[in-house]
Amino acid sequence: MLLEEVVLVDHEDNEIGFAEKLEAHRQGALHRAFSVMVWDSKGRLLLQRRQVDKYHSGGLWTNTCCGHPRPGETTLQAAARRLNEEMRVICPLTPIGTFTYRAELDAGLTEHEFVHVFRGTYDGVIAPDPVECDGYSWTSPDVIRKQVAAEPQCFSAWFKKYVEAEWPIAPPG
């Protein structure tokens, strides 16, 4: 597997360097990331279940797609690239804000991310890459809130923070 670098940032998202992705998560270093929320025309959010063998948070439900821009890549470019790679979805994405969080994960890792959040609308076929995703579900915001409250251990740390903040799990419009 090729080593992947992430962009280290300060608390205002100014680039301050690069680090190998796994090492950044071991150290809890603040780095740039993105999250994508894809909605259908019925107001349901596309959730994915992370592939069980992922290096962290395997088997947990989360937003449509997330990841890290590569050095020299914009967050929008990275979000569109990973959305296609993970879920085989291509749709226009709109930035809707940023979200900074820190969370302790499994395997002794720490997520400390300055996240750029994007929204898209899509009603086509979903054909996720099985290396990335073990399943998916189109789910309404009310059901998401109930599921996270009833079984928080089934959801990624960052997605629980989004739901707790009630942002950005609201359909467009």
Kindly state the tokens that stand for 34: 């993105």
151 is in an annotated binding site: no
**How many residues are listed for the chain in this entry?**
173
Indicate which residue of 4, 12, 65, 66 is catalytic.
66
- DSSP letters, the chain, are ----EEEEE-TT--EEEEEEHHHHHHHT--EEEEEEEEE-TTS-EEEEEEPTTSSSSTT-EE-SEEE-PPTT--HHHHHHHHHHHHH-----EEEEEEEEEEEE-GGG-EEEEEEEEEEEE--S-----TTTEEEEEEE-HHHHHHHHHH-GGGB-HHHHHHHHTT-S-S---
Catalytic residue among 113, 132, 154, 164: 113
Q: Is 66 a catalytic residue?
A: yes
Residue 25 known to bind ligand = yes
Token code pair at residue 37? 């929320």
Quote the Cα angle for 101-81-65, to 5°. 40
166 is in an annotated binding site: no
Q: Does the annotation flag 86 for ligand binding?
A: yes
Question: Is 73 part of the annotated catalytic residue set?
Answer: no
Is 5 labeled as ligand-binding? no
56 is in an annotated binding site: no
> Which residues are annotated as catalytic?
66, 113
Residues annotated as binding site for Mn(2+)?
25, 31, 68, 111, 113
Residues of the binding site: 25, 31, 68, 86, 111, 113
Q: Which residues are annotated as a binding site for Mg(2+)?
A: 86
